[in-house]
Structure 1
Amino acid sequence: MTTLDFTVPDHWKWFTESRYGMFIHWGPYAQHARGEQILFREHLDQREYAEQAAAWNPQHFDPELWAATAVKAGFKYACFTTRHHDGYCMWDSAYTDYSSAKLAPQRDFVREYVDAFRKAGLRIGLYYSWIDWRLPAYFDGPAKDPEGWEKVRAYLHNQVKELLTNYGQIDHFFFDGVWPRNADELQSVELLEEMRRLQPGILVNNRLGYSSTHDEYRADGGVGAGDSDTLGDFGTPEHLIVADRKRLWESCQVTTWRLWSHVFGERWRPADYLLDMLCECAEKGGAHGGNLLLNCGPTADGELPPEFVERALDIGRWLEVHGEAIYGSDGGSITEFITRGRQTTRENFLYLIIRFWDGRPVMRLADLTSKVKSVTLLTTGQTLEFEQRDAELFITGLPAEAPSRLFPVIRVECEGKPEANQWGRERLWEGDPSRVAEWARSQRGTSVFADGIERG
Structure 2
Amino acid sequence: MTTQFTVPDKWKWFTESRYGMFIHWGPYAQYARGEQVLFREHLDHAEYAEQACAWNPEHFDPELWARTAKKAGFKYACFTTRHHDGYCMWDSAYTDYSSAKQAPKRDFVREYVDAFRKEGFRIGLYYSWIDWRLPAYFDGPANDPEGWAKVRDYLHNQVKELLTNYGQIDHFFFDGVWPRNADDLESVKLVETMRELQPGILINNRLGYSEAHDGYRADGGVGAGDSDTLGDFGTPEHLIVVDRKRLWESCQVTTWRLWSHVTGERWRPADYLLDMLCECTEKGGEHGGNLLLNVGPTADGQFPPEFVQRAMEIGSWLEVHGEAIYGSDGGAITEFITRGRQTTRGNNLYLIIRFWDGRPQMRLADLVTKVKGVTLLTTGQRLDFEQIGNELFINGLPKESPSRLFPVIRVECDGKPEANQWGRERLWEGDPARVAAWAREQRGTSVYADGVER
Amino acid at match of 2:70: V
Q: Which amino acid aligns with 1:73?
A: A
- Distance in 2 (alpha carbons) for counterparts of 1:4 and 1:281: 20
Equivalent in the alignment of 1:359: 358
- 1:413 is matched with which residue? 412
Aligned counterparts, 1:326-405, within 5 A: 326-405=325-404
Q: CA deviation at 1:431?
A: 0.4
Distance (Å, rounded) in 1 between the aligned partners of 2:309 and 2:43: 33
> Which structure 2 residues correspond to residues 110-259 of structure 1 after superposition, within 5 A?
110-218=109-217, 221-224=219-222, 226-259=225-258
Instruction: Report the Cα distance in structure 2 between the residues aligned to 1:223 and 1:369, rounded to whole angstroms.
Output: 45
CA RMSD of aligned residues (A): 1.1
Tell me how far 1:9 sits from its aligned partner.
Answer: 1.3
Q: Secondary structure at the match of 1:373?
A: strand
Aligned 8 A contact 1:255 1:294 in 2: yes
Residues 1:3 and 1:284: Cα distance change in structure 2 (over 3 Å) = farther
Q: Is the 8 A contact 2:282 2:342 kept in 1?
A: yes
Offset at 1:3?
Answer: 8.7
Aligned-partner Cα distance in 2 for 1:433–1:7: 32
Give the 3-state SS of the residue equivalent to 2:384 in structure 1.
Answer: strand
Contact 1:239 / 1:253 at 8 angstroms: preserved in 2?
yes
Distance 2:405 2:283 in 1: 20
* Letter matched to residue 350 of structure 1: L
Separation in structure 2 between the aligned mates of residue 104 and residue 24 of structure 1, nearest angstrom: 21
Matched to 1:224, the amino acid is V
C-alpha distance in 1 between matches for 2:76 and 2:387 = 40
> How far apart are 1:7 and its partner, in Å?
2.1
Asked if the contact 1:58/1:302 (under 8 Å) is kept, the reply is: yes
Q: 2:99: which partner in 1?
A: 100
Cross-structure match for 1:274: 273
Amino acid paired to 2:222: G
- Find the aligned partners of 1:239 and 1:154 in 2 and give their Cα distance: 32
Instruction: Please tell me the residue identity of whatever aligns with 1:89.
Output: C
Does the 8 Å contact 2:5/2:245 carry over to 1? no
Residues 58 and 105, structure 1, Cα contact 8 Å, conserved in 2: yes
2:453 is matched with which residue?
454
Q: Output the amino acid matched with 2:21.
A: M
Q: How many residues align?
A: 453
Match of 2:305 in 1: 306
Is the Cα–Cα contact under 8 Å of residues 3 and 287 in structure 1 kept in the other structure?
A: no
SS at match of 1:285: helix
Alpha-carbon shift at residue 11 of structure 1 (Å): 1.1
User: Do the aligned partners of 2:156 and 2:190 also contact (CA within 8 Å) in 1?
Assistant: yes
* CA–CA distance in structure 1, aligned partners of residues 214 and 151 of structure 2: 24
* Contact 2:89/2:107 (8 A) holds in 1: yes
User: Structure 2: how far apart are the matches of 1:346 and 1:434?
Assistant: 32
Q: Which amino acid aligns with 2:198?
A: Q
Q: Give me the whole-angstrom Cα distance separating, in 1, the residues matched to 2:435 and 2:39.
A: 53
- Residue 140 of structure 1 aligns to which amino acid in structure 2? D
- Whole-angstrom CA distance in 2 between matches of 1:288 and 1:186: 28
Stretches (4+) displaced over 6 A: none
Give the corresponding residue for 1:285: 284
> What secondary structure does 1:344 align onto?
strand
Cα drift, residue 6 of structure 1: 2.7
1:126 is paired with a residue whose SS is: strand
Identity %: 85
Amino acid at match of 2:410: R
Deviation at residue 217 of structure 1 after TM alignment: 2.8
Instruction: Quote how far apart the aligned CAs of 1:272 are.
Output: 0.3
1:434 aligns with 2:440: no
Shift of 1:224: 3.2
| Other structure's SS at 1:47 match | helix
CA shift, 1:273, in A, is 0.3
TM value normalised by structure 2: 0.99
Unpaired segments ≥5 residues, structure 1: none
**TM-score, reference length from structure 1:** 0.98
Question: 1:330 Cα shift?
Answer: 0.1
State the Cα distance separating 1:222 from its structure 2 match: 4.7
Cα gap change, 1:16/1:4 in structure 2, threshold over 3 Å: closer, same or farther?
farther
Determine if contact 1:4/1:247 at 8 Å carries over to the other structure.
Answer: no
Structure 1, residues 221-247: CA drift from partner, whole Å, max 9, x if none? Answer: 554360111111000000010010110
Contact 1:3 1:286 survives alignment (8 Å): no
Cα distance in 2 between the residues matched to 1:216 and 1:18: 34
Q: CA deviation at 1:10?
A: 1.3
- The separation in 2 between residues aligned to 1:277 and 1:15, in whole angstroms, is 17
What amino acid sits opposite 1:12 in the alignment? W
Q: Deviations over 1:398-428 (max 9, x none)?
A: 0000000000000001110000001000000
Query: How far has the Cα of 1:5 moved from its partner?
Result: 1.6
Residue identity matched to 1:322: H
Q: Distance in 2 between matches of 1:136 and 1:450?
A: 71
2:98 corresponds to 1:65: no
The residue type paired with residue 116 of structure 1 is A
